[in-house]
Structure 1
Amino acid sequence: MTQLHFQRHRRLRQSTGMRAMVKETYLHKEDFIYPIFVAEGENIKNEVASMPGVFQLSLDNLGAELDEIVALGIPAVILFGLPAEKDAIGSGAYHDHGIIQKATRYAKEHHPELLVVADTCLCEYTDHGHCGVVEGEQILNDPSLNLLAQTAISQAKAGADIIAPSNMMDGFVAAIRAGLDEAGFAHIPIMSYAVKYASGYYGPFREAADGAPKFGDRKTYQMDPSNRLEAMREAASDVEEGADFLIVKPALAYMDIIRDVKNNFALPVVAYNVSGEYAMVKAAAINGWIDEKAVVMETLLGMKRAGADLIITYHAKDAARWLEEK
């Protein structure tokens, strides 16, 4: 055996202290953005059946949720709205008294230090469930841009710290940036859903946000999961148009895309750990098939290692508690 020459990699794994000394990637509470679904009405706290632990909340129940998030040290939330009424042009998205606008004002009044990210889209507010203006069964790109800009301006007026447009219309960042600047909100950053795939992992979210399309699908504007180079073109366009953050959505099956975006663009990269990813872990944990804590923390760590600076995740509250235990 003395004639063998090989590397002793295990020398750096011999103890907890040694492993901590050479650890390369870390999770922090400050990495997390927690999604919240806010519904019109009163006394609403409906657990989403496919997402255990996630609720649709009315404004009168929002306070307790925000108190918990702040107490856990999670620095940011992203708000999704469930309006009482919907129409063909999603007017509830850009109404000054829309549910997101009311929730944003409430959050900033009670927890001014909490960063509020506003999801900027029309699908939750349109009666057809698509992310833009519809003519027949065509989703029209350019007529949708003005409505998206109006939505962003209304959200900024309500106090949103960050605008997060998720619609995937061509030119949406340019339209929103121009609208915000002209309205006096040049200081408000855009967290663009720059790379958003037409994914099967969104199913539970559509239940949570009541946002499934009533006809067809979203494949004419969300990306084909087969494509990698297209993701770079999408991200490059958003950078050129004025994005300040770049989201990759989903995360788990797109770790290569997260790394590509991180390597190619000098902006913060956000991984969206989506509803289907959350639901799979929860279902397996409830059945006793996996160690939930171990799998969640490993998954989130993997997203950080792939290049994510921030993670939008429904696991944020649990992960924050587990980090505190450490």
Structure 2
Amino acid sequence: METSIEIAGDGRASEVRRAVVQLAAQLGLDEAGAGRAALAGTELATNLAKYGRQGWIAVSDFDDMDGRGIQLLAVDRGPGIAQFDAALRDGFSTGGSLGLGLGVLQRNADVFDHYSAAGQGAALLVRIARPRSRPDRVPGRLQLGVRAAPKPGQEQSGDAWAFRQAGRWQRLGIVDGLGHGPLAADAALKAVQVVHASTERDTPATVLAAAHAALRSTRGAVMSVVDIDTAAGQAVFSGIGNATGLIVGQAHGLLQTQHLMALEGIVGYNMRRTREHRYAWLPGSVLVLASDGLSSRIQIDPALLDRHPALIAGVLFRGHLRGTDDATVVVAKLHP
């Protein structure tokens, strides 16, 4: 469930608030939680309209290691927040907004994160969870962040993604059904069903082989699958087609980017062979999988690596979106 609202001027705060209230009711948030979420939506929209020049707010649900609840992701193309420490103080405002200060959002959120780059814009993440919905901490569990949108003018996306715990492996897949619309979405759905049905005995290559058989009756898809064993510090990848895959981390004080190598072909049509590649999963590693709706030349600011994966996904989506195709980016990193 996601509603994305473009903010290019005043007057959209009420629309954001309505979307938040509606989703909060669907998720069963109590009155206090719904109120906190509505306040966050209003303040984020008001500030983005005044300072951000142009951007969007995505209102969605989450169900992961942070619990279950409502997520607000505000991303803009403004000047950035130069005085972020000051902005966290109550009453700080440079343009006559609500004047609450981002500190109120921070204190009222169950999860709050931010990123700002001078001249590029700012991104703010607020999560409000249902009471007692946070699961027990599981060592080595990945935290995910996703940003996705259909091709402009389309209601249905042909992109999809899937996550499955398969024994010691945490398995992620991203799929781009060929073309756009319902037929592409059908191919993508069949592919992610294969990921969900896979077992610990499978590998990324066998998952692709099973998807190839399952997609014979469809128009086919680009597909990538990666297995990550955080305890062993390794990742196994297999991909067909032009999706982008990166593992970014710090090694010996230097930023290291590993590009995940895929083969040419179309799953369900002309997949001649598969090949698995092994990569190091270093402490602090960040995995990025993206469809070709984003530029393949993805670069990550080292300062972004420490942020929440949902925030990373939003910033990458802003910076690399082509705007001519369905677009999806999935980010995974170790849950703190």
Name the structure with the higher strand share.
Answer: 2
Shorter-chain TM-score bucket reads: under 0.3
- Higher relative contact order, structure no. (Cα contacts within 8 Å, ≥ 6 residues apart): 1
State TM-score, norm by structure 2: 0.27
State TM-score, norm by structure 1: 0.28
Name the structure with the higher helix share.
Answer: 1
